[in-house]
Amino acid sequence: MALNQALSGINAAQSDLNVISNNIANAGTVGFKGSTAQFSEVYAVTGLNLSSVTVGSGAELTGVQQQFQQGDLETTNGSLDMAISGNGFFVVNSGSGDQYTRDGAFQENANGDVVTSSGSFLQVYPPNAAGGFNTSTLTNLQLNTAQSAATPTSTINVSSNLPAGASLPVDTPFSPTDANSYNNASTLTVYDSQGGSHSATIYYVKTANNTWNANLYIDGNSAGTAALTFNSAGALTAPANGNLSFTPTQPTNGASFPATMTVNVTNTTQFGTAYAPGTINQNGFEAGVLENVEIGTNGVVTAIYSNNQTTQLGQIAVANFANLQGLQQVGNNNWVATQSSGTAVLGTAATGQFGDIEQGQLETSNTSDTTAQLVDMIQAQQNYQANSQMLGTVSSLDQALFQAVDRG
């Protein structure tokens, strides 16, 4: 009996050392959660009312309990590095179903998918065409197709002041090559359907008191002339809606402009001060490539392009469980749901029971402070040595008993 008791103690201590060794081995593993060995006493009782004289039969390993306390957050500044500050797991798909991880060291693969170091795909809620996100389905976060297409200029907004005291031009008719045939000019860049840039100039010609013509030229080609009228206070009265319509000449490179290009002059005035071009902007832009990714604390992933445009690519899904201890470890810092854990409760970061997502940070292992692990290791080692000593003592006693029997 005593030999079996000592042997069970040695096995228990060895199991404890194995668990502690694994904790220490993963002290540098991102998002790792340490474990503790759980033991119970063993009794072999066959009769009634024997508890007062029954001696235990030793110890046995009953389970390895995971410890889900959060590790420290470490700043990395990697745009795809993420950590969850609070409750929740990232949802990843390995190709054979959803898995869950606290390891936010994501990277982009050759196809533009955001994946874990083991190749599992990060799952997000896709954006809706009308805005927001479709939280009824999950999809891979994809960066390779996140390109910003070119948009041709259709509207130009002008906020300027035309000088009320300006004289009529000396030369007539108007010509963009004759500076004496117009009063003022403003130049800007517009874009065609392929994102090609073109030089556009608005020439202002005073035709009478409170009346002006605006002439739009693109790459030296006339897009037409439109009239502006002001009242005696210098406010625009015509066109009433502030929109001037022009018909640009189409490019010869296979691209195109909209059939009508609108110049909005609602904020243009005619005061007695000098000409002021004010602000001029337009709604076209060239094609852009992905330059950076911003991830909000709510998990919304926004792509930032070289043409200063932005697009929301998705919202990172976050999962939680009724019983974290029921999750099954499957390696690569991933867990899967079991009947004991319950099904995943999916949601979004920074809402309800879910923590915030911190971009540019990683959660370190919750065993990274190895001091406590080393203390546990010393205790387990002492337990092992004590049981070994007990095994040696029992063996010596048995040997002495056998020798006494032989002499008898």
Least confident among 18-27, 156-165, 265-274: 18-27
| Mean pLDDT on 204-232 | 97
For 357-392, the pLDDT digits (tens) are 999 999 999 998 888 888 888 887 887 787 677 766
Predicted local confidence at residue 84, as pLDDT: 97
Residue 246's closest CA among 281, 285, 200?
Answer: 200
Residues 338, 344: contact at Cβ < 8 Å? Answer: no
Q: Is the full-model pTM beyond 0.85?
A: no
pLDDT at 145 exceeding the cut of 80:
no
Residue 212's closest CA among 197, 227, 190?
Answer: 227
pLDDT at 220 exceeding the cut of 90:
yes
| Mean pLDDT on 250-270 | 95
What residues contact 401, with CB distance under 8 A and at least 6 apart? none
Q: In the chain, count of helices (H) and strands (E)?
A: 2, 27
Cβ neighbourhood burial of 22 (10 Å; 0-12, 13-18, 19+): middle
| Mean pLDDT on 266-276 | 95
Helix (H) or strand (E) holding 3: helix 2-25
Predicted local confidence at residue 124, as pLDDT: 98
Predicted local confidence at residue 205, as pLDDT: 98
What are the DSSP calls for 227-258, one per residue? Answer: EEEE-TTS-EEESTT-EEEE-PPPPSSS----
Predicted local confidence at residue 369, as pLDDT: 81
For 85-120, the pLDDT digits (tens) are 999 999 999 888 999 999 999 999 999 999 999 999
Domain boundaries, the chain: 2-69+369-407, 73-148+289-363, 155-282
3-state secondary structure of 380: helix
155-282 homologous superfamily: Flagellar hook protein FlgE (2.60.98.20)
| Mean pLDDT on 192-212 | 96
For 7-45, the pLDDT digits (tens) are 777 887 788 889 888 889 999 999 999 988 888 888 766
* 198 compared with 375, residue with greater pLDDT: 198
Predicted local confidence at residue 5, as pLDDT: 76
Residues 194, 214: contact at Cβ < 8 Å? Answer: no
Q: How far is it, in rounded angstroms, from Cα 314 to Cα 141?
A: 7
Predicted local confidence at residue 43, as pLDDT: 74
Predicted local confidence at residue 74, as pLDDT: 95
pLDDT at 329 exceeding the cut of 80:
yes
Local confidence band at 323 (pLDDT 50, 70, 90 cut-offs):
very high
Say how many C-beta atoms besides its own lie within 10 A of residue 98's C-beta: 19
Least confident among 65-74, 115-124, 189-198, 388-397: 388-397
Backbone φ and ψ for 394, nearest 5 degrees, come out as -60, -40
Strands 356-359 and 82-85: antiparallel
Least confident among 49-53, 90-94, 153-157: 49-53
With residues binned 3-state (H G I as helix, E B as strand, rest as coil), the percentages for the chain, rounded to 5, are 15, 40, 45
Q: How far is it, in rounded angstroms, from Cα 101 to Cα 135?
A: 20
Predicted local confidence at residue 238, as pLDDT: 97
Predicted local confidence at residue 47, as pLDDT: 56
pLDDT at 130 exceeding the cut of 70:
yes
Least confident among 31-35, 44-48, 77-81, 310-314: 44-48
Task: For the chain, report the end-to-end CA distance as a whole number of angstroms.
Answer: 24
Predicted local confidence at residue 51, as pLDDT: 59
Tokens, residue 241: 């809606």
Mean predicted lDDT score pLDDT of the chain: 90
Predicted local confidence at residue 395, as pLDDT: 63
